Amino acid sequence: MSLALIAALPFLGALLPGLLIRAGRDACAAVTGSITALALLMLGLHAPAVLRGEIVQTRIDWLPALGLNANFFLDGLGLLFAGMILGIGLLIILYARFYLAKSDPMGQFYSYLMLFQGAMVGIVLSDNILLLLVFWELTSLSSFLLIGYWKHLPEGRQGARMALAVTGGGGLAMIAGMLILGNIAGSYDLTVILSQKEAIQASEWYLPALILILLGAFTKSAQFPFHFWLPHAMAAPTPVSAYLHSATMVKAGLFLMARMWPVLAGTPEWFWIVATTGLVTMVIAAKIALFKDDLKALLAFSTVSHLGLITMLLGFGTKAAATVAVFHIINHATFKAALFMTAGIVDHEAHTRDLKRLGGLRLLMPITFTIALLAALSMAGIPPLNGFLSKEMMLEEAAHTVWITPWAMGVLATIGALFSVAYSFRFIAHGFLGPVRDDYPARPHDPGFGLWAAPALLVVLVVVIGILPMTAVSWLVNVAASAVTGTNVEKHIYHWHGLEPPALWMSLAAVGGGIMLVSLHARLQALWDAAPRPDAKGIFDGIVEPLAAAARELTNTLHNGSLTRAIAIATLAIAGAGVWAFGGGAHLPGSVALTVMEPVPVIAWAVLMIAALAAALLHRNRLLALILTGIVGLIISIGFAYFSAPDLALTQISVEVVTILLMLLALHFLPKTTPRESSAPPAAARCGHRRGRRAWHRPSRLADHDPARRIRPDFRLPPCAIEAGSGRNQCCQHHHRRFPRL
Domain ranges of the chain: 265-515, 520-559, 597-675, 677-742
User: What are the φ/ψ torsions at residue 74 (nearest 5 degrees)?
Assistant: -130, 115
* Separation between Cα atoms, residue 54 and residue 482, nearest integer Å: 11
* Separation between Cα atoms, residue 730 and residue 309, nearest integer Å: 72
Torsion angle (degrees, nearest 10) of CA 42, 48, 53, 55: -20
Task: Please report the pLDDT score of residue 378 as a whole number.
Answer: 94
* Separation between Cα atoms, residue 437 and residue 439, nearest integer Å: 6
Instruction: Kindly report whether the peptide bond that precedes residue 384 is cis, defined as omega within 30 degrees of 0.
Output: yes
Three-state DSSP string of 284-306: HHHHHHHCCCEHHHHHHHHHHHH
Q: For residue range 274-292, list pLDDT tens digits in order.
A: 999 999 999 999 999 999 9
Contact (Cβ atoms closer than 8 angstroms) between residue 278 and residue 214:
no
Q: Which three-class secondary structure state does DSSP give residue 188?
A: coil
CA geometry: angle at 287 spanning 283 and 288, to 5°?
Answer: 120
* Separation between Cα atoms, residue 303 and residue 280, nearest integer Å: 14
* Separation between Cα atoms, residue 14 and residue 35, nearest integer Å: 9
Q: For residue range 184-214, list pLDDT tens digits in order.
A: 998 888 989 998 999 999 999 999 999 999 9
User: What are the φ/ψ torsions at residue 214 (nearest 5 degrees)?
Assistant: -65, -30
Longest dimension (CA), the chain: 108
What does each C-alpha distance from 131 to 469, 478, 616, 707 come to in angstroms?
35, 27, 49, 51
CA 249 to chain CA centroid, nearest Å: 8
Beta strand pairing call for 56-58 and 72-74: antiparallel
* Separation between Cα atoms, residue 389 and residue 385, nearest integer Å: 7
Q: Which three-class secondary structure state does DSSP give residue 229?
A: helix
* Separation between Cα atoms, residue 501 and residue 397, nearest integer Å: 10
What does each C-alpha distance from 612 to 159, 528, 538, 601 come to in angstroms?
56, 76, 58, 16
* Separation between Cα atoms, residue 207 and residue 419, nearest integer Å: 34
Q: Which three-class secondary structure state does DSSP give residue 586?
A: coil
Q: Which three-class secondary structure state does DSSP give residue 673?
A: strand
Residues of the chain with pLDDT under 70: 1, 67, 498, 585-587, 677-742
Task: Please report the pLDDT score of residue 585 as a whole number.
Answer: 67
**Cα Rg of the chain (Å, integer):** 34
Strands (E), 663-729: 700-701, 716-717
Task: Please report the pLDDT score of residue 184 as a whole number.
Answer: 92
User: What are the φ/ψ torsions at residue 148 (nearest 5 degrees)?
Assistant: -90, 25
